[in-house]
Amino acid sequence: MASRPGKTAPRLLQDLLTYDARHEERAGRNLLTSSPPHFDPDTPPEPAVPNRNCRHIFMTKPEQSVLPVGGEDTTHNTVYKIASFCQKCRFHLQLVVDFRDHGSKTLPCRTASDEFPIHHFVYHPAAPATNGHQHEPHTHAFQCTAPKCPVEVRIRLLPPRFTDSDIHLLTNKVALKKRLDAAKEMNLDRADAHTARCVDALDFLSTYLQDSLSPKQGKARIPLLNRKFLKTFGKDCDAILKSLGFTQAVELEDDGPVEVWHLPKPPAAARPLDSDTTRTVIEDARYELNSLIMKFPESERTNVRHVMFQPQPSINDIQRALGCLDYGKRPMTRAESRADNRDEDHPYYAGLGAVGDFNDALLLFAFARQSAVDTRNSTYYFECLQGIAIGRKSPVLEEQVMVMASQGFTNRKEVEDAYRYLGLDPSHKAALTDDIIISQFRARLGSISPAVVDETRSMLRIIGNARGSNDIIQEASNAIESYKQALNWLELEESQQDEFVVTMYTLKTHEHKSSIPTARKAVEIIAEARNSERLREFLESGELKGDATMDLGEAYALLQINDRTILLDEEVLLQQLTLAIQDSPEREAVYREAYDLIRADQKKRPKNSQTTSGSPRKVYPLAIWPVGCENIGNTCYLNSVLQFLFTIKPLRDMVLDCDRHFQELTHEALKDKLVGRSAVTAEKVEKAQQFVRELRKLFECMITASTSHVRPETQLAALALVRPDTVVPNTSAVDNLTSNLGQLNEDAQAMELTNSTDDDIGNADRPEPPSRPPPVPPRPQTSAQANIKAIEGYAQQHDAAEILNNIFDLFSSAFKGNGVLRDGEQNDLIKELFFSDVTTVMWAGEKINRNIALQDNHLISPGNRDRPLYAALDDEFSLTELDHAEEGEVKRKYDFMSKASPIQIINVRRLVLENKKVMKDDSHVALAEILYLDRYLGHTDSLSEQQLRALKEKQWHLRQKLKDLKARKQMLEGTEVKLSLSASVNECSNLIESLHKQKEDNLIDVDDDPLPPIPDIHGYLAVKAQALREEEAGIEAEMKEVDQNINNIFSGCKDHPYRLHSVFMHRGSSAGGHYWIFIYDFQNKIWRKYNDDYVDKVEDLDAIFKKEVKNPATSTGIVYVREDKINEYTQAVCREPERNASPEIQMIDAPDTTEYENIPVINGIAKES
């Protein structure tokens, strides 16, 4: 059940005495059922109860009540009912206190109890409440939160039987004078000479109602022409009389027909716990009339027929029923005693669900109950208790508060301080997940001295306790008890092999010897969970033993590569690995070791060697062709990202001129800087600027290189792949990486330019497989090796979108902002280029909310079937029904872009969970060269929001149909025997036919035939199987048709065109693979393939737009650029190669020089005429 605050019985009673349903809507909350707003000491105080609310004085209606008797104990059948009405506002109260047996709940709270001395109630919104409708009954149910207390309280409030307009109609002198005039016109002879008094209508009506409750002969009817009745009620009070049960009739008398009124005929008195009847209405009306008559001066109510009666106050009966007649009160002076219930307690008392006269013990009880039932607000309740202890100057409370503080209880300010300590904005805590907070904490550990580690853990523990998060609390305690905790401590995924466990152990312990015991414990837990003898041996000997090193020839043979002399394309090698693993998944580790050896061997080959295609690589003119980026070890995706960023002209220009745009590091400049809703520290800015400087060196080399490719520095990869808040190990991996690899020569060339022939690769730089660590892990002897492999490991653990998001974060941290967005977020070039405003429209019951968030990409899912990009995007922006939403939670939502960025990044979710295994979805997402964003916007140039919404609703209807078809398809395709339903039925048919044949061939009679004869059952099943197959095919065709119909809805919406700029590609499995990128050159109108160190022209566009049949490459990221910004924002070629090319570089003539004759030189040397 959702966390919900409660209130003690005295608090409930106090709120009941001041709750006024007439003003609930204006107040904005229900004073009785809702908790008060949290008190803010920094804002001016506001009254908890509006002055307009009635301070009720409830009087008992004994004939409708079952009252408690003093000194009488309750039983499991006890039900009290206090029926009352307020003398001031005339609202009626029915308060039921139900003690009836609730199974195990048999111990009601009692004043004599030390554990539960008083009831603590929580509102249960079972009965629908109506806000602001004063003429409708209001019923509210509350349940005591004590574990074994059965008490349920039901409070029903009913509006007066007489409205204000009714009273005005009965007592207004002008109205009475008009009735007298009308009476004279109707019956001049019998008309009274004097106007009725204001009190008369109330008096006569009370008398009539009393007569109806105690009927007597001759008093059951009133002639309309009765002179007193006619001048008092006339005909304009008919509605009032009828509402009370009076009926009109026409009777025949000696002098003709006569109009009469008959008194109400209520049923006999029933049990008070039964439902209300007409008798209840009449009794209520008499109580109200008595109260109204009593308000007249005694001189004006002389000779009234109504017998005055004085009802008894209900307060004692209500307190006795609620068990709070004699609760423990603190001693108060006369001055401290409240004069009436208009005096308000401090808001901290209401926060605890208590009242101001509670003694200390009851206040501690109220705090305990509130914290137990509403844990998410426990910090506020502790703040309330602290404030009351200070205000009362109570030694008992002050001591208890100190004890609680030592036990980990905190107030709101301490929690906010803890968030700030970790560099997080407390105003955004609702949007911060546990993972984000833990990551930020780990980042802090990587940049602080050991002296403040304990304090940092204490801050995290405060946040964990406030959020009720076991994950955060365990992280703060640094405890490792479970397999999951061991993996988390070593920053591993469950799928990673033992080799990487040792790698991460080495990283964690190399520079922090104090962490060795914890690291060993983590490895022990993993070894036990996996039953790994190799890890146990590592803990004993320090070595990870395994199979002997594989021979290179054996490696080629394992992957079925016969010719070891040719240069293999990366994709071909990866395809061989994938096919081998698919054939024998149990030998995956062996195949990956073979793959690793072959890659290392291939890296030694000249780049212009003959490839698997049988032809050398094509060489392009340096002045007009982009350079490639060498893969320095599992950085193929990073290379693709760097190439993409280089083509975004405004971003490239800012990087090249970065010093002019860098953020100042002063406290004043950083105090309000927020990136990703997090405060930015000077350390983070320094690392981000270090990354930008490294990127500038790369970009400069990409412009001026006299070679076809360059080699990014390891430090750039480290800064790009490892988030600034990632600890590798507990000190900055990036800072240590340079020193571990050896100091760079400051006078040396900033970026290494590589020739066409690579040097041999030593063991330290041995290339890594795409997704897993090498079979033999790095030994603790060299920290450089460990750090490089750790960086690669982090790259493997994060998907493409995360790495690009990390780089965006680095840019925003490094550069000055040019303004402030919502929630204080920094506005900058990255936000202007890549971030859209995405509005989420949510329905929670009758309430509609809109939330706007910054978003730098859209994440789509292919859905295990080939389909257009539009269809996948529709999944993210269309109406979503949330089936398991609780009451008050969001049940429906949809998104649209209220502001679309000029560069749209669409990431494709390729990894899916099937049968508890992570698999890759190779479905094809069909791309269009032009993407029209109209359908995903709030409005367009030609369609208003309402018009576009109408088209969307039509689409949503078709999408629901598509969802139903998909569900039917899944039912037909998925069975427990891993066959489709049609195949299962067909196999069943074959089995039965086989059994029949076997029976016919049997020469021995069997008395008990195990197979009862059913005529032609196998034939029936075969027909059914065929019908199911046809249904499967028909559903697939219908799904495609519905997909097309959905797309056609928006066929005329073309106000906002975006053109395809680039496509990130991946070939491989869920465990790993190879990345490259296709980028379109808008200036030269050609597509290029950037595959690490080689950039080639795309001759066959099917490689981008069509699906391959076998082991297909798949898109993982798609980028579109707004059509009117193409030339302003993109520039694929930016080259000014240096003339002193290395003499070692082999250059050959391009096969077709005329092919590039018309390509303009950008920022280069003009072609001679």
| pLDDT tens, residue by residue, 167-219 | 999 999 999 999 888 888 876 566 677 888 999 999 999 999 999 998 887 77
Cis peptide before 775 (omega within 30 of 0): no
- Average pLDDT of the residues in 298-327: 90
Q: How confident is the model at residue 796 (pLDDT cuts 50, 70, 90)?
A: low
Residue 694 has a pLDDT of 95
Calculated CA dihedral for residues 322, 325, 326, 329, nearest 10 degrees: 90
Residue located via tokens 């609730």: 102
Measured distance CA(78)–CA(323) in Å, rounded: 13
Q: Is 1075 helix (H, G, I), strand (E, B) or coil?
A: strand
Measured distance CA(40)–CA(395) in Å, rounded: 25
Q: Which residue has the higher pLDDT, 1048 or 1127?
A: 1127
Measured distance CA(144)–CA(100) in Å, rounded: 13
Q: Which residues contact 978 (CB under 8 A, 6 or more apart)?
A: none
Measured distance CA(689)–CA(668) in Å, rounded: 18
Measured distance CA(429)–CA(253) in Å, rounded: 82
Mean pLDDT over the full length of the chain: 81
Q: How confident is the model at residue 224 (pLDDT cuts 50, 70, 90)?
A: confident
pLDDT at 82 over 80: yes
Q: Is 970 helix (H, G, I), strand (E, B) or coil?
A: helix
Residue 733 has a pLDDT of 38
pLDDT at 780 over 60: no
Angstrom distances, CA of residue 641 to CA of 82, 160, 1078:
74, 72, 11
User: How do residues 228-270 score in pLDDT, each as one tens digit?
Assistant: 888 899 889 999 999 999 999 988 877 778 889 999 999 998 8
pLDDT at 432 over 90: no
Q: Is 492 helix (H, G, I), strand (E, B) or coil?
A: coil
Measured distance CA(771)–CA(791) in Å, rounded: 13
pLDDT at 986 over 90: no
Q: Which residue has the higher pLDDT, 860 or 1012?
A: 860
Residue 332 has a pLDDT of 67
Measured distance CA(928)–CA(1096) in Å, rounded: 22
Residue 636 has a pLDDT of 76
Angstrom distances, CA of residue 631 to CA of 278, 709, 765:
89, 10, 11
Residue 311 has a pLDDT of 92
Angstrom distances, CA of residue 438 to CA of 471, 476, 692:
9, 9, 26
Q: Which residues contact 249 (CB under 8 A, 6 or more apart)?
A: 259, 260, 261, 262
Residue 755 has a pLDDT of 35
User: How do residues 820-850 score in pLDDT, each as one tens digit?
Assistant: 998 889 999 999 999 999 999 988 777 888 8
pLDDT at 1001 over 70: no
Residue 1028 has a pLDDT of 75
Measured distance CA(809)–CA(793) in Å, rounded: 20
Q: Which residue has the higher pLDDT, 517 or 63?
A: 63
Q: Which residues contact 142 (CB under 8 A, 6 or more apart)?
A: 12, 121, 122, 123, 124, 152, 153, 154, 155
User: How do residues 335-351 score in pLDDT, each as one tens digit?
Assistant: 555 444 446 789 999 99
pLDDT at 610 over 70: no
Q: How far apart are the first and last CA of the chain?
A: 81
- Average pLDDT of the residues in 1141-1163: 40
Residue 354 has a pLDDT of 95
The answer to pTM > 0.75 is no
Q: Which of 370-379, 491-500, 574-583 has the highest mean pLDDT?
A: 370-379
DSSP per residue, 1089-1122: EEETTEEEE---THHHHS--SSS--EEEEEEEEE
Alpha-helical regions (H) of 191-301 = 200-213, 227-233, 238-243, 278-294
- Average pLDDT of the residues in 16-43: 85
pLDDT at 1161 over 50: no
User: How do residues 700-742 score in pLDDT, each as one tens digit?
Assistant: 999 999 999 999 988 888 888 766 554 443 333 344 433 333 3
CB 750 within 8 A of CB 564: no
If we measure between CA atoms, which residue out of 309, 240, 244 comes closest to residue 277?
244
Q: How confident is the model at residue 651 (pLDDT cuts 50, 70, 90)?
A: very high
Residue 138 has a pLDDT of 74
CB 703 within 8 A of CB 1136: yes
Partner residues linked to 852 by β-bridges: 839
pLDDT at 990 over 70: no
Burial environment of residue 452 by CB neighbours within 10 A (0 to 12, 13 to 18, 19 or more): middle
Q: How confident is the model at residue 885 (pLDDT cuts 50, 70, 90)?
A: low
The neighbour count for residue 235, using CB atoms within 10 Å, is: 12
Q: How confident is the model at residue 801 (pLDDT cuts 50, 70, 90)?
A: low
The neighbour count for residue 832, using CB atoms within 10 Å, is: 14
Q: Which of 179-188, 655-664, 1009-1018, 1130-1139 has the highest mean pLDDT?
A: 655-664
**What token pair was written down for 991?**
């089995």
- Average pLDDT of the residues in 861-877: 90
Angstrom distances, CA of residue 418 to CA of 54, 440, 449, 698, 824:
43, 12, 18, 40, 20
Angstrom distances, CA of residue 42 to CA of 39, 45, 349, 420, 665:
9, 9, 18, 19, 32
Measured distance CA(259)–CA(116) in Å, rounded: 64
Residue 771 has a pLDDT of 34
